[in-house]
Amino acid sequence: MKALRFDVFGRRVLIAASKNGWVTFYLGDDGKRRSAPDIVVPPDIPESGIAQYLDDICHEWATEHHPSVKQLD
């Protein structure tokens, strides 16, 4: 399963490819992950478009210290 890591306005998120599309998780400081049911990435979004999609749907989380979405991998 291919996985991409993002900093989404200060929140670390893992987006993993599955046979049914994309699965989303929040990443903890201890390396554990938990489901992120509030972030749903449609299966037709290509890997190259995920950062922009996350920016579009999560822009309310933006702060002065975390103004953007950054891919970490």
Domain with 64, as residue range(s), is: 3-71
pLDDT at residue 73 in the model: 72
Q: 31: how many CB neighbours lie within 10 A of its CB?
A: 6
Q: What is the pTM of this model?
A: 0.91
The HSE-up count of residue 64 (CA atoms within 13 Å, CB side) is: 0
Q: pLDDT digits over 2-47, tens only?
A: 899 999 999 999 999 999 999 999 999 998 999 999 999 999 999 9
Count: domains in the chain: 1
CB 33 within 8 A of CB 13: no
Q: Tell me how many degrees the CA angle 65-12-62 measures, rounded to the nearest 5.
A: 35
